[in-house]
A and B are shown apart, each in its own frame.
Chain A
Amino acid sequence: ETGVTQSPTHLIKTRGQQVTLRCSSQSGHNTVSWYQQALGQGPQFIFQYYREEENGRGNFPPRFSGLQFPNYSSELNVNALELDDSALYLCASSLNMWEQGPLHFGNGTRLTVT
C-alpha cells in the first residue's frame, strides 16, 4: 500500500511569485485535504477535494487554489506569494469524504518565501 507522497520536499520562492505543490493520495483514497502549518502552530485547513471538486474551504484567500485529477492526485497553487505564506504545507488523504476516520498525511512541503 503506497502512502501519501508530496513533492517537492523543500522550496524557496520570492514574494509575488507563484508556486505549485503536488500530492499523490494513498491507494484507494478519493479525498484529499490540504493544510498550512506555520512554525509553532497547528495545521490550518485550506480546502478539501472529493472526486475532482472542491468540497469545503477554510479561511484562505482565493489566491490559494487547487485541483484534483481523475487518479485522485492533487495540486495546491498559491499565487502572488507573500512572506506569511512561508510554512509547511501538508497534504492528507482519506478513503472518502463521508467517513470520520483518520487522515493519512504526507511528509509535507516546506515553503520559504523571501
Chain B
Amino acid sequence: AQKITQTQPGMFVQEKEAVTLDCTYDTSDPSYGLFWYKQPSSGEMIFLIYQGSYDQQNATEGRYSLNFQKARKSANLVISASQLGDSAMYFCAMRDNNNDMRFGAGTRLTVKP
C-alpha cells in the first residue's frame, strides 16, 4: 500500500532564507510520480512541483526544487529565498500504478519577517 510520511508538523523559516520540508514514501511500483502541493488558509490546493520516478535530474520550478533520493525513498521540497506569502500548509503526495493520489499529513510552514 502507498504511504507518505511527513515528519515535520510545523516549520519556521526567516524571510529570504531557504527551508527544506521532508517527505518519505513507500511503494513497490517501479513507476510513480511524486508531487508537492501548497494549501493556503483559503483551502485551495496549489500544485508546486512534480518528480517522476525515472527522472534522472531533480525537478525545479522557480524557487522550488525537489531533492529526490530514490534509494532512500525521499522527496524533500526545498524552497529558496522564502517569502511571507510562502506561509501555508505543504503536502507531499504520490501517484503510482494504483492511479489515485495519496497525501501525507502535511507540514505547516511559517515565514518570519
Residues of A near any B CB (own CB < 8 A): 33, 35, 41-45, 48, 55-56, 58, 88, 90, 92, 97-98, 100-108, 110
A6 to B4, CA, bound (A): 27
Contact B45 A43 (CB under 8 A): yes
Q: Please list the 3 inter-chain residue pairs (A to B) with the smallest Cβ-Cβ separation, ordered nearest first.
A: A100-B33, A105-B45, A42-B103
15 sampled A-B residue pairs with Cβ under 8 A: A33-B100, A41-B106, A42-B106, A43-B91, A44-B103, A48-B99, A56-B98, A56-B99, A56-B100, A90-B45, A97-B99, A102-B50, A105-B44, A106-B44, A108-B43
A110: chain B residues at CB < 8 Å are 43
Contact A88 B99 (CB under 8 A): no
Extra pairs beyond A56-B100, A103-B101 (10, CB < 8 Å): A33-B100, A43-B103, A45-B102, A92-B101, A102-B47, A102-B50, A103-B95, A107-B42, A107-B43, A108-B44
B104: chain A residues at CB < 8 Å are 42
B31: chain A residues at CB < 8 Å are 100
Contact A42 B105 (CB under 8 A): yes
B43: chain A residues at CB < 8 Å are 88, 107-108, 110
Select A107's contact among B4, B44, B91, beta carbons within 8 Å: B44
Contact B95 A100 (CB under 8 A): yes
B66-113, CB < 8 A from A: 91, 95-96, 98-106
A33: chain B residues at CB < 8 Å are 100-101
Give chain B nearest CB distance to A34 CB in angstroms. Answer: 10
B35: chain A residues at CB < 8 Å are 102
Is B32 part of the contact surface with A, judged by Cβ < 8 Å?
yes
Contact A42 B91 (CB under 8 A): yes
B17-59, CB < 8 A from A: 31-33, 35, 37, 42-45, 47, 50, 52
Contact B105 A58 (CB under 8 A): no
